[in-house]
Amino acid sequence: MEYKHNPPTLAELRAYRKLIKHPHVEARLAFSTLERLAIKITNGVGTIGFFFVLTIWTLVWLLWNLYGPLELRFDPAPAFVIWLFASNIIQLILLPLIMVGQNLEGKFAEQRAQADFEINQKAEHEIEVIIAHLENQNELLLELIRKIEKR
């Protein structure tokens, strides 16, 4: 877009400018309750706190069933069948849920990238308008200087 001779008017520029969207808010509002829950769980599972909870739970379980009083041990070593079963159930539930959350986060990232692209396009357009105005001012100044020099 070149505006060397006819730069846009202020009204045209204001009409071109649209309000900037906030992709974070729009994306979050578009998610259903279950999708928001999936994202919360995905974000929670991806923390060091969750890692420590699983590690402590595993250590307590295994140590109790190795060294606890014989009559209170509930998952005999070395198989730890109940621990393996419970761990597998947790994995089977969390894996697809984490994938759903990651897919939703991917959609959100795409919307954010689109908003960034639109903002960059607007900035480029506004820079072109500013450059066109500066070029026109230069031409006007040169014209004025020529008129002054002729006198």
The ranges assigned to domains in the chain are 10-150
Cβ neighbours of residue 67 closer than 8 Å, sequence gap 6 or more:
none
For 100-148, the pLDDT digits (tens) are 989 988 888 888 888 889 888 888 888 888 888 888 888 889 999 998 9
Lowest mean pLDDT among 16-20, 33-37, 118-122: 16-20
Specify the pLDDT at position 1.
47
Specify the pLDDT at position 150.
87
